[in-house]
Amino acid sequence: KQEVTQIPAALSVPEGENLVLNCSFTDSAIYNLQWFRQDPGKGLTSLLLIQSSQREQTSGRLNASLDKSSGRSTLYIAASQPGDSATYLCAPPGPGNTPLVFGKGTRLSVIA
């Protein structure tokens, strides 16, 4: 069974700070992992897909790393902005044909 834990559950930072969101998962036999952003009451926006053969993936101010052996992924956000305020979810695949398994996410508030 795949279980996902994200720490911290909530985070409030001033604008301009660099920050790290942590994700741990119990089943390391994964073929990829995705990071998503969700605004309140909205759908999920895919931020980054890290393939199992990769250790890092970058998109703009976002950088995600993956360490399969330890069951961890981190999302680094550089120079945070108020528009980054949202809930961030990491999702590895699950057992069988379960495409994605989610934790509760990290709710980020960036204060101007």
Partner 1 sequence: DAGVTQSPTHLIKTRGQHVTLRCSPISGHKSVSWYQQVLGQGPQFIFQYYEKEERGRGNFPDRFSARQFPNYSSELNVNALLLGDSALYLCASSLFGGKSSYNEQFFGPGTRLTVL
Report the residue number, 18 or 54, with the smaller CB distance to partner 1: 54
Is residue 60 within the footprint of partner 1 (CB under 8 A)? no
CB under 8 Å to 58, separation ≥6 — which residues? 48, 64
Is residue 63 within the footprint of partner 1 (CB under 8 A)? no
Report the residue number, 42 or 55, with the smaller CB distance to partner 1: 42
Please state, in angstroms and rounded to a whole number, the distance separating the CA atoms of residues 71 and 107: 21
Is residue 99 within the footprint of partner 1 (CB under 8 A)? yes
Among 89, 92, 108, 110, binds partner 1 (CB under 8 A): 89
Supply 107's token pair: 């709710």
CB under 8 Å to 90, separation ≥6 — which residues? 4, 6, 21, 23, 25, 33, 34, 35, 36, 73, 75, 102, 103
Supply 40's token pair: 């309140």
Show the site string, 5-44: x = touches partner 1 by CB under 8 A, - = not.
--------------------------xx-x-x----xxxx
Report the residue number, 8 or 16, with the smaller CB distance to partner 1: 8
Least distance to partner 1 from the beta carbon of 26, Å? Answer: 15
